[in-house]
Structure 1
């Protein structure tokens, strides 16, 4: 009897402790931007988990959380080797779950500055656990000669598009290899044989030509991200200079679901579709996720901390909606400190 009484008391104590640790009326229902320091935010929802991938200490780290607005401690899944093409300057990794494995696409180089050696590499998890070991699948040949990797060309910010049972790589690159990083950047697309091998030849998809994506010291198209809604496909990308307050987002829209993504004429360019204001500066390099209950769409992005040139940035998030024609309506970038309602379903997760 004493044993059962002890069990009862322990159980009662644990229940009370849980209730006292997190009473429902103490859970915050709002949050404010920025949510944390950093740049090039890549967040993806897999099941009920939000996977966040980022570069740190010349390596790549990931974290998994049930909450969008509260990042859990991260684990380093890969460190750059001491020598070789990818030994330095690890930039803007993205993680994608494809056919039972996690694939990480990242940019790296031998040295920098100047950042003239950047190429794109791929890592693959050994199983479906995001925290598993990763194998280095090597460098992707993002040049014009698929048979000659020695003719490879500068490439960063690779993402993938799955469309009509085919896989495509989309990235920011140079038309040809140069000896200065003051070189215009363009968006390219290429079909993939598998998640770590390109197929065929690269296609020039977008160049910085419109008035809203030019005008500064260096014209850039970079940070392409895929956004889908019903049967529509969009590429939201960054333009202008990443170190200036004018950094902003443009959009490519596939004309229809049957159009060939490898044909530049299949895409319609508009912009800017999301940019800074008097309070928010240098809106760039976005990713997209659904709220925990799946009813809301959210944009994750970074901004500059000041108007001065440089790369001191933080990460923010806010919900967005859709126009009657099915295009995204991102609205105005919300200033720091303004309360925002937490993503739908997040409060209930924390309460339980």
Structure 2
């Protein structure tokens, strides 16, 4: 080759054989809480509340959330004009749906939270969206319009051709928000219609779910793996450092999920440390090349009671018998390899 000497060749060969440097990121990846991510066609869509409504962003990188776009503004009047919490973005049958909680009155006490859903006009996660109204979350389906119950954190579960809704609610409406929260499930006839009375599937009863000022089960999220269905949920108090994750397991997808006895509880499956406080309200996805499983969750910024939190990402694995192993939350600032297949 012109201009190449024998002395040059070994050097060039050595350089070309060197592996590429591995890319890293550190937590937290963003400010905020209740992280929700939905992966479609190799793109990550993140959904959050803020700026007077609900925002969506997109990114090809799991560890970078992208620019937030306001896709729905709260109305001036109605049941959902205030207190928009924990929206989730889902895709069914060529449409996008956003499930969220909201209230007719701003601020606390938080007595009026209900769950609703938005539907995209076209197959576009950035909308526009049509408000499909409040979802029925009560005990008397024949009187659904007049008997909604307090409900937040609703998430859908498609299973064996049937769509279900899972959410956190109160047994009865109360005059104080210092009320226990339980997990409920109901059938859905389509992504915007609940078609049955609710069934109680979990209450805060275990020692690791209780002991604080208020016992909570909330933030249910679905995982499926090797013929099992998992509901990973948050428990203890969201404003305290003891916030953590519990797990319900449906050991066989052929079992009826509407029967509480079919769900086996275990936990805590992910909890804070002295350096990472109050871990909870998660969502799940895979790496860009689909070889890794990842959890997004929020944690508290200090030990002081409150909701000042940030968002973190971490890979998790599976045990030999098919259960998720979330490990231990990695402290802020510790370098972690970026998700497999993510380009820098």
TM-score, normalisation: structure 2: 0.92
Query: Does the CA contact (< 8 Å) of 2:51 and 2:70 recur in 1?
Result: no
Partner residue, 1:192: 188
Total equivalences in the alignment: 324
Q: Report the aligned-residue RMSD.
A: 1.2
For residue 84 of structure 1, the aligned residue among 78, 89, 100 is 78
Q: CA deviation at 1:145?
A: 1.2
Q: Which of 14, 24, 28 is the matching residue for 1:30?
A: 24
Match of 1:68 among 62, 76, 85: 62
Q: 1:312 aligns with which of 302, 308, 313?
A: 308
Q: How far apart, CA to CA, are the structure 2 residues paired with 1:89 and 1:136?
A: 16
Quick one: distance in 2 between partners of 1:49 and 1:194?
Answer: 25
**Whole-Å Cα distance in 2 between the matches of residues 328 and 310 of structure 1?**
29
Per the alignment, in what secondary structure is the counterpart of residue 205 of structure 1? Answer: strand
2:322 to 306, 326, 333: 326
2:238 to 223, 237, 242: 242
1:110 aligns with 2:107: no
Name the stretch that deviates more: 143-152 or 121-130.
Answer: 143-152
TM-superposed CA distance for 1:129, in Å, is 1.0
Task: Please state how far the C-alpha of 1:27 moved relative to its aligned partner.
Answer: 8.6
Aligned to 2:44: 50
SS at match of 2:62: coil
- SS at structure 2 position matched to 1:72: coil
- Residue 230 of structure 1, CA deviation: 2.5
Q: Matched residue of 1:346: which SS?
A: coil
Partner of 2:117: 122
- 8 Å contact from structure 1 (residues 58, 89) kept in 2: no
- The aligned counterpart of 1:135 is 130
Deviation by residue 1:81-140 (Cα, 9 ceiling, x = unmatched):
111110100000001001111010000001131100000010000111111200000001
Taking structure 1 as reference, are residues 153 and 34 closer, same or farther at Cα in structure 2, changes over 3 Å only?
same
Unaligned 5+ residue runs, structure 2? Answer: 1-18
1:74 CA drift (Å): 1.4
Q: Which runs of 4+ in 1 moved over 4 A?
A: 25-28
SS in structure 2 at match of 1:143: coil
Deviation string, structure 1 residues 180-218 (Cα, Å, up to 9, x no partner):
100000000000010000012100010000000000000
C-alpha distance in 1 between matches for 2:293 and 2:164: 24
Superposition deviation, residue 72 in structure 1: 1.3
Secondary structure of 1:147's aligned partner: helix
TM-score by length of 1: 0.90
Determine which of 295, 298, 311 is the counterpart of 1:299.
295
Which position in structure 2 is the counterpart of 1:213? 209
Structure 1, unpaired ranges of 5+? 1-24
